[in-house]
Amino acid sequence: MLKSLLSAVRIYFYMVGASVRAQMQYRYAFFMNILGWIMHYTGTAVTLWVMLYSFGALEGWTFWELIFLYALALLSWSVCILFFFHFRSLDQYIVNGTFDRFLVRPVHPFFHFMAMKFDVGAFGQLIFSVAAFALAYTNLVLAWPWWKWLIFFGAVIGGTFIQGGILVLISAMAFWTTRSERFFWVVMFPAKSLIKLSSGYLPQGNTVDSHLYPALCFC
């Protein structure tokens, strides 16, 4: 059991390494991709700031508190897409018949597909969410004890798996419908934005520490 797990990890890193090398070949595109993601989210944060300029707070949530929630939601999502984002193009493989090659290899097709790509471009999101989280953490003058950090990392890991699961679920619909990417963009993406921004309506607490609870709900 342990042996096969270890070998799976080794194979995963080997394949992912190849994928990363392939993506790094186009350095300019690679850099632009990361920059694009950072710009995209910075834009949202700036929009949020402008919106709160005249209003001060959204149902009692101030700018940095909202950034904190936003960064938290984004953090698990960015980890998720590092590993799972390429599943969205699964339908192309199914339609073109290229998925068959995953079926004839001596590894599990799911594992093989997952290890096929490691979306390095998604680092842009990770960089943004970590930076935004750190900024919000400082601005809100938080001082978490170790167990809160534990819950925090648990929430990020849990959120990664839940969102990864949903992503794979939508992609797998392509086995029946042959089209799923569009469904992904029109359903999952707006739904995600909705959840992210409506998080402001979850239970309110006066101390920022209680934000961990809503954050856990949607992570």
Partner 1 sequence: MGHLRLYLEFTRKSFQRAAAYRFDAWTRLFSNIIFLFMWGSIWYGLYHGKESVQGISFQSMLSYILVSHLLQGVHSAGTPLWEIQERVRTGDIAMEFIRPYDYPFRLLFADLGSITFYFLIAVLPLYSVLFFTFDLSLPATLDRWLFFLFAAVLGYLIRFCIELTFGLFTFWLVETGGVEDIFYFAISLFSGSVIPLWFFPEWLASLARFLPFQTIFFVPNAIFVGQLEGQALIQAVVLQGFWLFLTYTLLRFVWRRVIHKLVVQGG
HEC profile of 148-204: HHHHHHHHHHHHHHHHHHHHHHHHHCHHHHCCCHHHHHHHHHHHHHHHHHHHHHCCC
Nearest to 65 by CA among 9, 131, 133: 133
- 40 binds partner 1 per the rule CB under 8 A: yes
For residue 58, what are the β-bridge partners?
61
Candidate ranges 40-48, 80-88, 130-138, 157-165; the one touching partner 1 (CB under 8 A): 40-48
Q: Which stretch binds partner 1 (CB under 8 A): 107-115, 144-152, 178-186, 211-219?
A: 178-186
Counting contacts by CB under 8 A, is residue 32 touching partner 1? yes
**The residue count for the chain:** 219
Contact letters (x/-) for partner 1, 130-159, by CB under 8 A? Answer: ------------------------------
Q: Specify whether the CB–CB gap between 90 and 172 falls below 8 A.
A: yes
Q: Show the binding pattern over residues 182-211: x = contacts partner 1 (CB under 8 A), - = does not.
A: xx--xx-xxx-xx--xx-xx----------
Stretch that binds partner 1, among 130-138, 163-171, 180-188, 205-213 (CB under 8 A): 180-188
Radius of gyration of the chain (CA): 19
Residues that bind partner 1 (CB under 8 A): 26, 28-29, 31-40, 42-43, 46-47, 50-55, 58-59, 182-183, 186-187, 189-191, 193-194, 197-198, 200-201
